Amino acid sequence: MSLSLDAPTQDAPSVADDGVWLECIACGGQFAPFDDVRFTCDDCDGLLEVRYADPPTFDDFAGEGVWRYAAALPFEEGVSLPEGHTPLHEVPRLKEDVGVNRLRVKHEGMNPTGSFKDRGMTVGVRVAAELGVDRLACASTGNTSAALAAYGARAGMETLVLLPAGKVAAGKVAQASLHDARILEVDGNFDTCLDIVQDLANRGEVYLLNSLNPFRLEGQKTIGFEILEEFRDDYGRFPDRIVLPVGNAGNTSALFKAFRELVAAGAMQPEEVPALTGVQAAGAAPMVEAVENGADEVRRWEEVETRATAIRIGNPVNAPKALPGIRETGGTAVAVDDEAITEAQRDLAREGVGVEPASAASVAGLRKLREQGVVDADEDVVCLTTGHLLKDPDAAYEAGGDPEPVGGSTEAVREHIGAE
């Protein structure tokens, strides 16, 4: 049940299935992975993690995409579109502007449905099929619903998504709708939606595929494997820091788990692990509050607001996994305002990297931490961007330049642009 970075490999308990089991991070309870549907601990309701008796090294990885890392996942293959193998962009002008030694941007918006959520769904929907469930469900600020709808459609399963009414970008609702999900617009925020989906799941009426589901995070941890391999191949070393947006804190938890497994396998030393650095919008920053106050738990924010809709979350369910990840790796967390997020979105776009607002929070957070002296000039940094710019076309339009009216002739255009 240890979440220490240098925790040793565990022996498989009697409940394990081919060296895989579920374990509660709170009380240490252990459960068979596929004999029953469970999302939290039967004994204390704590969060569960998928554990392995034989964590892999880099030498065990082969192929491409998420399932390159099958040796670190519960199955050899999943319900795939396919996903993963996203670019690690160079952004030279932005690097110089921020003032770090190296800066790369891991663009998860290049997954099949346009966000990192596809990585979790390829594993989670495969587990649902293993368990024999017939209705998938999620609460969503948009990206989860799009990914679940697509992967549920691929698997031929009924899909139900609950969205906070009027709070989800049109591009994301359109995706879920086209992939034939049933969309319920709830009078409340994301956390209200998640409360309802959890209740439905506990009643056995749906299979929950939010990041509370530990199998979701197994797919998402492959982001960490890819960053380490790609950065090492380019520079012969691992990055010093990974900066990422925080909503439900699933990616922070997942990357920390990937690093712990590599350390346990002897593939990394603890001092080589990048510092996990979380960024939240100022209007939805309960994780930042906990980190700044040295708290072991996150206080739920009942009212949250930010134009970065994908991280408009006041009760990050994975905080018990994410807070140790930030602290054990020597990271931190920072809040940025919406104006800084939009500025970072524009800066990324000028480098040819198009992202939705929540994604740009990572760059805005890095800039703020660099100005504060928390991030040093000699650091090698990777910023994670989580969703494509067309996820929120309205925000992209508002952040961009206005169209310029011009007459319908070549001469009118030449005059307008100041041609000689």
pLDDT category, 393, cuts 50, 70, 90?
confident
Q: Are residues 221 and 206 in the same domain?
A: no
Contact partners, residue 58, CB within 8 Å, separation at least 6: 228, 229, 262, 267
Residue 382 lies in a domain: yes
CA terminus-to-terminus distance, the chain: 72
Q: Quote the pLDDT of residue 170.
A: 79
Do the annotations mark residue 247 as ligand-binding?
yes
Q: Are residues 124 and 195 in the same domain?
A: yes
Region 17-36 average pLDDT: 97
Q: Which of 212, 233, 261 is the last residue of a domain?
A: 212
Q: Are residues 100 and 229 in the same domain?
A: yes
Q: Are residues 103 and 245 in the same domain?
A: yes
Do the annotations mark residue 152 as ligand-binding?
no
320 pLDDT more than 80: yes
397 pLDDT more than 90: no
Do the annotations mark residue 330 as ligand-binding?
no
Residue 146 lies in a domain: yes
Are the C-beta atoms of 322 and 316 separated by less than 8 Å?
yes
Do the annotations mark residue 410 as ligand-binding?
no
Q: Are residues 278 and 310 in the same domain?
A: yes
Residue 265 belongs to domain spanning: 88-114+217-399
Q: Quote the pLDDT of residue 27.
A: 96
> pLDDT above 90 covers what percent of the chain?
90
Q: Are residues 199 and 232 in the same domain?
A: no
Could you report the per-residue pLDDT of 138-192, keeping only the tens digit for each?
998 889 999 999 999 999 999 999 998 888 887 888 898 899 999 999 999 989 9
Do the annotations mark residue 63 as ligand-binding?
no
Q: Quote the pLDDT of residue 1.
A: 47
Q: Are residues 180 and 241 in the same domain?
A: no
Q: Which of 54, 69, 96 is the last residue of a domain?
A: 54
Could you report the per-residue pLDDT of 159-168, keeping only the tens digit for each?
999 998 888 8
Q: Quote the pLDDT of residue 166.
A: 85
Q: Quote the pLDDT of residue 114.
A: 96
Do the annotations mark residue 250 as ligand-binding?
yes
Domain count, the chain: 3
Region 315-329 average pLDDT: 97
Residue 72 lies in a domain: no
Residue 379 lies in a domain: yes
Tokens 């997942």 belong to residue:
254
Task: Say what the pTM is.
Answer: 0.94
Are the C-beta atoms of 113 and 387 separated by less than 8 Å?
no
- Cβ-based neighbour number of residue 171 at 10 Å: 22
Q: Are residues 392 and 381 in the same domain?
A: yes
Q: Are residues 271 and 359 in the same domain?
A: yes
Please report, for the domain that includes residue 351, its CATH number. Answer: 3.40.50.1100
Could you report the per-residue pLDDT of 264-315, keeping only the tens digit for each?
999 999 999 999 999 999 999 999 999 999 999 999 999 999 999 899 999 9
Q: Quote the pLDDT of residue 222.
A: 98
Q: Are residues 302 and 160 in the same domain?
A: no
Give the alpha-carbon dihedral of 171, 173, 178, 181, to 10 degrees: 160
- Cβ-based neighbour number of residue 394 at 10 Å: 11
- What is the sign of the dihedral through the CA atoms of 73, 79, 80 and 84? negative
Q: Are residues 96 and 153 in the same domain?
A: no
Edge-to-edge strand list for the sheet holding 158-164: 182-186, 158-164, 135-139, 207-208
Region 403-408 average pLDDT: 94
Are the C-beta atoms of 1 and 24 separated by less than 8 Å?
yes
Could you report the per-residue pLDDT of 218-241, keeping only the tens digit for each?
999 999 999 999 999 999 999 999
Residue 101 lies in a domain: yes
Residue 328 lies in a domain: yes
Residue 74 lies in a domain: no
Residue 404 lies in a domain: no
Could you report the per-residue pLDDT of 48-91, keeping only the tens digit for each?
999 999 999 999 999 999 999 999 999 999 999 999 999 999 99
Do the annotations mark residue 210 as ligand-binding?
no
Q: Are residues 184 and 224 in the same domain?
A: no
Q: Quote the pLDDT of residue 420.
A: 79
